Structure 1
């Protein structure tokens, strides 16, 4: 890439705030183009390194971050951490020579089981570094090796419907007994794997791993506790959040997926894409899934997936309780559960549609009797982005949220129709009724945005026509709302009509940002 374009990109994309430490994670560096959506070509990688150099970024090491924590060093003006997952041979043959040319340090995570030749994915056979190559890298200046676990990249059964989910975070479902793995058994399994990973590092590399990159970026406090106990201080995740000095030793990394050009890279490393994300979502009536009728449930779930594909939304809100609030759609000892279907729904929304924003609406009555137990039952068996609560200041809600974060460390909490964001909540979700008075909708939205520019809005359809719903969404965009959706979406009757609502729902809101 020519220098003039690099200069142009610098002016276009801004700079990183002094607090932010962009952390990048690569996988394979390919000689040429590849069908692997996470791979980056040699040419693109070289352009990206040149961009970092030209724009004054200073790649940092884990060692430097450790000194920062101890008060022995300061961050450079524009730091960036460069990491590679999986221990692929292209790191040594392509990436490392280019990094060395620029004097850039990097971190490589290694799946010790794969280095031993165990359970290697078909697409990685013949492409991984062996222990001899890893020993050479361990002696190389500017290279830091961490664990990527020993054997936690495979799937295990996660629900009665037979879905497979990452072994590193999933409490296994046993179809024979109809039970989920206990917390004691789960912890023991994680501990055994991490102990073996550490032992293999010590045996082969003569050094223990100082950190761990969690498989698929997923983790909870059980994993953190076990890794920390073994001296794996650094916790490398894929959380959708910036890394800052105060988040260390947890490092949130940005991954490459179908990266098309240098402009996208500049957008990513500056954290601009993360800061300026706009979320559009729908709320669905869980009872429409007919969760108590297995055959109809699967049919309705397929309908929901097809519907959401048409709408192209980035998020979904679910209420995993019956309409009367007396039964749950996940196993819990705090109330009867009507059917064990929530894990299946969330799994399909994530794996089939790759939705990043899955929120559960939690009615206040659900958390009044045993909030910690409800949080334990919900959080340990299901993966979701956040919850929406009625009042974050309610003591039982606070207990619920804090316990839920043990199993969902990246949990985001929205307060329904709240006026302020509390210590336990990250955003306010305002409900607005769609009416013929669109000026009223816009005024109401502007009022709340003047108090909180990051407020979310949920338009209630009620008796509104589809034209009124569409006009209400346009009014929210005119008011400057970046995050909004509507409720309910009738995915069975396909209302509102997708052709009438998609362009309005997805249209970008022009928001003035101060970077």
Structure 2
């Protein structure tokens, strides 16, 4: 403890902050994991660990700058109107229940008079001394690397920690598709290889409920108090899992979504993930970020019909080529078709996911989406948005499906596919009043990470709607963004783009509009040259239209040419640096 004492002497500043109450009752939540003494860089194998010295520096800085560390009880009191939160409120959380919490964090909490939420995994704590526990899907850790019940009881009795549930045994992946991808247990319908079928809704519900109840019972048995906070492993949750947690006495649940919180966020608290042992300057920059910068969209729209092949080997080859191409382009958004339109009549005839409401051409969308998110980013995150029609679905007899059946199709997609956004096309109409909102809410019931819904429009449609405020008012009811497919006019493209920009609503926020370049002339089916595409992008950028995507992408034919499109559309400042 001598080294810890020296750290405290150097960094601890005794400041008594008066509570100035904030009118908006916002709070920040920090998410830590393990603490390693002597860790000074970000090269440790465990990128979730923070160095002891850096942690003390962060705690000291928060104290100096007037941040007020609050407890879950403080937040609940504020929600109930008993006592508002102080200004610059911060909730500290530590996931997984490492033994370093008792050794290093506990003395700091007492010294700074801070509190923290400690989220524990029941199965790990139930292992016998000397045994290994399975940590995630690959690693194994000794039971001694985690807290003991005696340590948890002591810290709880001090009033400096609150014990939260991190599940009994959901901190691992489950088989999520026929191709073998393992995905977060709490939000995955398990695929059974023997029966070639997915877990039923009832089986899924009972599995999650049984797990959460088991961990709450275990915590109560060993500490005398049931947890009221559920911290989702990997941050993966849905409205259904949140509802189960609430019914079991845990109205507060925590995710790994970025952002600040108000009382309205208690069912899904956002947390700042403290990762890669950040220096004090990096930590300060993250904490003091006043407003989130505009999300720059640089993307590509992929038609699954272009990469699907009945021959598994040929499909795998084409898919791997696509992953390599996306990784090389360094884009951050992929719009991925979830349906098949083999006869190109504008109607979906089948889908690329398991569905009990519509024919499945091949159950591959979940794998494609997951692999793009986990393999194609090269360390950067890629958002995958599924692209589907609103009402353009027809059955084997050529009859259009009713809205209830379409809601079922979207529900199936949300259950079995990991997505973060939606792209709608309405070539055949938008359905009844409010129908797009029903589709969006249906997906969000299962995929809480879905934060954006966009509509695909042709540039000519936008030009034709110039000055029609009702048109845009109606679209704004449902959509965060508008993906505008810029029709190619070989002899007057700049004039066409000028007309498009002038047709956008007055006082327009250009960040809401993603300009999608055509790489093939829709009228002649001829490829648009790299020179023409490059010129088009430059003209858009000159006019402050910086949100860009393109369609279609020809992987095998390298069109548009990789070097050209990479230099123009990459989110990286230096796209050729690696």
TM-score by length of 1: 0.89
Quickly say closer, same or farther: Cα 1:60–1:225, change in 2 above 3 A: same
Determine the C-alpha separation between the residues in 2 that align with 1:432 and 1:54.
Answer: 52
> Is 2:93 the counterpart of 1:83?
yes
Contact kept in structure 2, 1:156 and 1:164, CA below 8 Å: yes
Determine the C-alpha separation between the residues in 1 that align with 2:105 and 2:414.
Answer: 39
> Is 2:282 the counterpart of 1:264?
yes
Equivalent position of 1:461 in the other structure:
519
> Is 2:349 the counterpart of 1:342?
no
Aligned pair count reads 495
Greater Rg by CA: 2
Equivalent position of 1:109 in the other structure:
119
Contact kept in structure 2, 1:212 and 1:232, CA below 8 Å: yes
Gaps in structure 2 of 5+ consecutive residues: 1-6, 8-21, 394-400, 458-470, 522-527, 574-578
Determine the C-alpha separation between the residues in 2 that align with 1:462 and 1:233.
Answer: 52
User: In the TM superposition, what is the alpha-carbon distance from 1:203 to its structure 2 partner?
Assistant: 0.7
Quickly say closer, same or farther: Cα 1:272–1:468, change in 2 above 3 A: farther
Aligned residue for 1:107, secondary structure, equals: strand
Determine the C-alpha separation between the residues in 1 that align with 2:356 and 2:315.
Answer: 23
**Cα deviations by residue, 1:415-463 (Å, 9 ceiling, x for unpaired):** 2237345444322223324567447536744764842343131222233
* Aligned counterpart for 2:536 among listed residues 472, 476, 485: 472
Quickly say closer, same or farther: Cα 1:41–1:443, change in 2 above 3 A: farther
* Aligned counterpart for 2:550 among listed residues 467, 480, 486: 486
Contact kept in structure 2, 1:442 and 1:475, CA below 8 Å: no
> Is 2:356 the counterpart of 1:333?
yes
Contact kept in structure 2, 1:416 and 1:428, CA below 8 Å: yes
> Is 2:483 the counterpart of 1:429?
yes
Determine the C-alpha separation between the residues in 2 that align with 1:227 and 1:180.
Answer: 23
User: In the TM superposition, what is the alpha-carbon distance from 1:486 to its structure 2 partner?
Assistant: 1.6
Quickly say closer, same or farther: Cα 1:273–1:35, change in 2 above 3 A: farther
For residues 202-281 of structure 1, the aligned pairs below 5 Å read: 202-258=220-276, 260-271=278-289, 274-281=292-299
Quickly say closer, same or farther: Cα 1:368–1:291, change in 2 above 3 A: farther
Determine the C-alpha separation between the residues in 2 that align with 1:27 and 1:38.
Answer: 6
User: In the TM superposition, what is the alpha-carbon distance from 1:194 to its structure 2 partner?
Assistant: 0.7
Equivalent position of 1:408 in the other structure:
447
Determine the C-alpha separation between the residues in 2 that align with 1:21 and 1:276.
Answer: 22
Quickly say closer, same or farther: Cα 1:205–1:326, change in 2 above 3 A: same
Equivalent position of 1:61 in the other structure:
71
CA RMSD of superposed structures (Å): 2.7
Contact kept in structure 2, 1:419 and 1:428, CA below 8 Å: no
Contact kept in structure 1, 2:122 and 2:215, CA below 8 Å: yes
TM-score by length of 2: 0.79
> Is 2:444 the counterpart of 1:388?
no
Aligned residue for 1:316, secondary structure, equals: strand
**Cα deviations by residue, 1:145-172 (Å, 9 ceiling, x for unpaired):** 1100000112221111111112221111
Equivalent position of 2:141 in the other structure:
124
Quickly say closer, same or farther: Cα 1:139–1:316, change in 2 above 3 A: same
> Is 2:459 the counterpart of 1:419?
no
- Structure 1 residues 382-391 or 438-447, which shifts more? 438-447
User: In the TM superposition, what is the alpha-carbon distance from 1:291 to its structure 2 partner?
Assistant: 4.2
